[in-house]
């Protein structure tokens, strides 16, 4: 399934998001390599997928590159 293929591309979290949808969308608009996906199956789940992620890119500088 998609989730088996992309299981390492996103982290699933539960609880309340401290950001509003507008804030999340604004962040994503500044980071074109990221995309937001969601589906509803008993509850609403949202996740962000980085289309160009690779282990070599998951460095501290990459994780902090898009600080507003």
pLDDT band at 1 (very low <50, low <70, confident <90, very high): very low
For the entire predicted model, the pTM comes to: 0.34
Rounded-to-integer distance, Cα 17 and Cα 57, Å: 25
**pLDDT value for 27:** 73
| Predicted confidence (pLDDT) per residue in 6-59, tens digit | 444 444 455 556 667 777 777 767 776 666 655 555 444 555 555 555 545 555
Per-domain boundaries in the chain: 2-63
Q: Would you give the DSSP letter of residue 41?
A: S
């Amino acid at each position: 399934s998609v989730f088996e293929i992309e299981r390492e591309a996103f982290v699933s979290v539960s609880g309340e998001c401290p950001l509003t949808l507008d804030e999340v969308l604004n962040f994503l608009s500044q980071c074109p390599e990221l995309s937001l996906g969601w589906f509803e199956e008993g509850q609403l789940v949202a996740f962000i997928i980085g289309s160009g992620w690779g282990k070599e890119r998951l460095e501290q500088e990459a994780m902090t590159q898009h600080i507003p």
